[in-house]
Amino acid sequence: MIDVLYFAWVRERIGLPKERITTSAVTVADLVAELVAREERYAAAFADTRAVRVALDQELADFSSPIAGVREVAFFPPMTGG
């Protein structure tokens, strides 16, 4: 079981801020592939993964990062704070 969080337009496209899922994905990219295969709204959110950032347990990571032991994955657009 892993918590998956979405922010900004990723959240809007998927239509929810957070969900708890069961996955056998090894890497972030595997997890994204699983989500995209589920429903059109996930495919829309991850249509261009260069425009999506990922954090594992609240630390920035890469799509190639392994997710073993991770409790919280978050997907969001490039940040625009400041």
Partner 1 sequence: MHTVRIQDRPFSYGTESDSFAAAAGPAGAVVTFLGRVRDDGGRLSVMEIEHYPGMTERAVTAILDEAVTRWDLTAGLVIHRHGRIAPGEAIMMVATAARHRAEAFAAAEFLMDYLKSRAPFWKKEFGPDGAEWVAARDADEQALDRW
- Tell me phi and psi for residue 75, to 5 degrees: -120, 140
Looking at the Cβ atoms of 69 and 81, the one nearer to partner 1 is: 81
Q: How far is the CB of 55 from partner 1 (least distance, A)?
A: 6
Q: How far is the CB of 43 from partner 1 (least distance, A)?
A: 19
Distance CA 43, CA 33 (A): 9
Distance CA 55, CA 37 (A): 21
Distance CA 5, CA 25 (A): 16
Binding site for partner 1 (CB under 8 A): 5, 7-9, 11, 55, 58-60, 74, 76-82
Q: How far is the CB of 51 from partner 1 (least distance, A)?
A: 9
